[in-house]
């Protein structure tokens, strides 16, 4: 049996990681979600509906591009990119948001809800809600609302209700708490749509399954471009880990393909100055599941920093913790400076402005290509960088030194 069908276990464990540690009032609701997903993931009607949405609304398949100029610059491995920046709304997140909303609809729910940090998940979910005619409630810290004004405008245009969260640090962590509280009160009619391969079972499995289209397409496209070959190295940035699991899914049973997850090293390896959870974290529980976590002296989730706000999470999907432990995936890190350099180079040399998150995967390719002549690297360009251009140019200029 292949890796994907045998992981996780029925209870949602990837080896020692995962599971579902739920407050009792939520247990029946997660049972309902598990049962609905179990049934729908085998329903040809559901899968056909999803396939048509991907094709006619999202614009899939997204292409794989050969990055000729970047490859020549590095003078080693040939670099290819899976173009999730060309998916509708400009990132891979819509892949699982459309599927979660379709699930909500099949379950008879009238609302989807979530928290958002930088607003990317909120925008993708609001898009899905608009498409399916569902209500959408997004909780967002007041600090993030100020910082990410364009995404707040997008969510409102798409018809979502944005709930400002004004307690504590007024950021992502408080938004999670606030959204969960609100969900408990309306779980009969709403579905909480988690934004990555994190959270209690079945979300890490479900979101991985929904994202696996990225790897399935990429494998076929890469083979078509190279006369039937597989890439030697496959790389993706890891925040919660959904774009990485999506791409890895296409190659995980191929022992000859090396898989790399690239974590954000921020400004240094000191706690609080990075978000490299697998590189520096320890076993622990966060938001209802067991995984690797970055914690402070009191054992609380530690503050994290990275230039890419979409990677800013002190935990990681349980499947990544597992794949780290088994050694199937190598987890490495790229810092803010390397990501910025990659951001400028991909823009200037290939005509693709990447999201700062995705730039971490590009940075890995830039670092490794020269050392691996004769090989090929396929990276996931998880999103486009329009959201980052003002911040980057106002803070760091145009990259021409
Ligand atoms: C949210 C986001 C990420 C990080 O999320 P994962 O679940 O780790 O994939 C990466 N890239 C982009 C463009 C994002 O919006």
Q: Which atom of ligand 1 is nearest to the CA of 211?
A: 9
Residue 172 confidence (pLDDT)? 85
Q: Does pLDDT of 401 surpass 80? A: no
Could you tell me if 154 and 248 lie in one domain? no
pTM of this prediction exceeds 0.75: yes
Output the average pLDDT for the chain: 97
Q: Measured on CA atoms in the order 265, 267, 270, 273, is the torsion positive or negative?
A: negative
Could you tell me if 8 and 46 lie in one domain? yes
Q: Does pLDDT of 1 surpass 90? A: no
Report how far residue 154's alpha carbon sits from residue 122's, in angstroms, rounded to the nearest whole number.
9
Report how far residue 88's alpha carbon sits from residue 308's, in angstroms, rounded to the nearest whole number.
20
Residue 173 confidence (pLDDT)? 82
Mutation to probe ligand 1, out of 83, 90, 199, 239 (largest number of atoms < 8 A from CB):
239
327 burial level (CB within 10 Å; 0-12, 13-18, 19+): exposed
Q: Which residue has the higher pLDDT, 21 or 300?
A: 21
What three-state secondary structure class fits 233? Answer: strand
Q: How confident is the model at residue 171 (pLDDT cuts 50, 70, 90)?
A: confident
Residue 104 confidence (pLDDT)? 98
Residue 148 confidence (pLDDT)? 87
Averaged pLDDT, 283-287: 95
Could you tell me if 381 and 349 lie in one domain? yes
Mutation to probe ligand 1, out of 203, 261, 383 (largest number of atoms < 8 A from CB):
383
Could you tell me if 234 and 357 lie in one domain? yes
CATH number of the domain residue 133 falls in:
3.40.50.1100
Task: With beta carbons less than 8 A apart as the criterion, state whether 303 and 186 touch.
Answer: no
Averaged pLDDT, 164-175: 90
Does the residue 279 lie in any domain? yes
Could you tell me if 190 and 290 lie in one domain? no
Last residue of a domain, one of 203, 235, 252: 203
Q: Using omega within 30 degrees of 0 as the cis cutoff, is the peptide bond preceding 112 cis?
A: no
* Interaxial angle between packed helices 356-369 and 336-350, expressed in degrees from 0 to 180 and rounded to the nearest 10: 90
Could you tell me if 8 and 156 lie in one domain? yes
Where in the sequence numbering do the catalytic residues fall?
93, 115, 382
Residue 305 confidence (pLDDT)? 93
Residue 187 confidence (pLDDT)? 96
Determine the structural domain holding residue 172 and report its residue range. Answer: 3-55+93-203
- Tally of structural domains, the chain: 2
Residue closest via CA to ligand 1's atom 4 equals: 239
- 54-71 tens-digit pLDDT: 999 999 999 999 999 999
Could you tell me if 116 and 249 lie in one domain? no
């Amino acid at each position: 049996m292949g890796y994907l069908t045998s992981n996780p276990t029925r209870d949602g464990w990837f080896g020692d990681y995962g599971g579902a540690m739920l407050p009792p009032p939520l247990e029946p609701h997660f049972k309902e979600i598990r049962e609905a997903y179990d049934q729908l993931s085998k329903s040809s009607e559901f899968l056909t509906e999803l396939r048509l949405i991907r094709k006619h609304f999202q614009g899939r398949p997204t292409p794989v591009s050969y990055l000729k100029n970047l490859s020549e610059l590095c003078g080693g491995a040939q670099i290819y990119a899976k173009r999730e920046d060309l998916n509708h709304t400009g990132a891979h997140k819509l892949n699982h948001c459309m599927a979660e909303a379709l699930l909500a609809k099949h379950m008879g729910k009238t609302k989807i809800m979530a928290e958002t940090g930088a607003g990317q998940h909120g925008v993708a979910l609001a898009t899905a809600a608009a498409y399916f005619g569902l209500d959408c409630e997004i909780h967002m810290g007041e600090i993030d609302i100020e910082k990410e004004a364009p995404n707040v405008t997008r969510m409102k245009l798409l018809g979502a209700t944005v709930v400002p969260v004004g307690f504590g640090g007024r950021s992502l962590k408080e938004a999670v708490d606030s959204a969960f509280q609100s969900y408990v009160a309306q779980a009969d009619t709403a579905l909480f749509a988690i934004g990555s391969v994190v959270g209690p079972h079945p979300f890490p499995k479900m979101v991985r399954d929904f994202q696996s289209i990225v790897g399935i397409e990429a494998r076929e496209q890469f083979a078509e471009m190279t006369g039937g070959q597989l890439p030697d190295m496959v790389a993706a940035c890891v925040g919660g880990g959904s774009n990485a699991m999506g791409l890895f899914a296409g190659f995980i049973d191929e022992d000859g393909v090396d898989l790399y997850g690239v974590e954000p090293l921020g400004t240094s390896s000191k706690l609080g100055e990075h978000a490299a959870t697998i590189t520096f974290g320890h076993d622990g529980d966060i938001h209802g599941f067991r995984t690797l976590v970055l914690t402070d002296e009191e054992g609380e989730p530690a503050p994290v920093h990275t230039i890419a706000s979409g990677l800013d999470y002190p935990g990681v999907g349980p499947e990544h913790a597992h794949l780290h432990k088994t050694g199937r995936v190598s987890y490495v890190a790229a810092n803010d400076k390397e990501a910025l350099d990659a951001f400028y180079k991909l823009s200037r040399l290939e005509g693709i402005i990447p999201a700062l998150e995705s730039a971490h995967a590009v940075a890995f390719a830039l670092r490794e290509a020269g050392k691996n002549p004769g090989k090929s690297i396929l990276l996931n360009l998880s999103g486009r960088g329009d959201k980052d251009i003002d911040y980057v140019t106002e803070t760091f200029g145009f990259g021409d030194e």
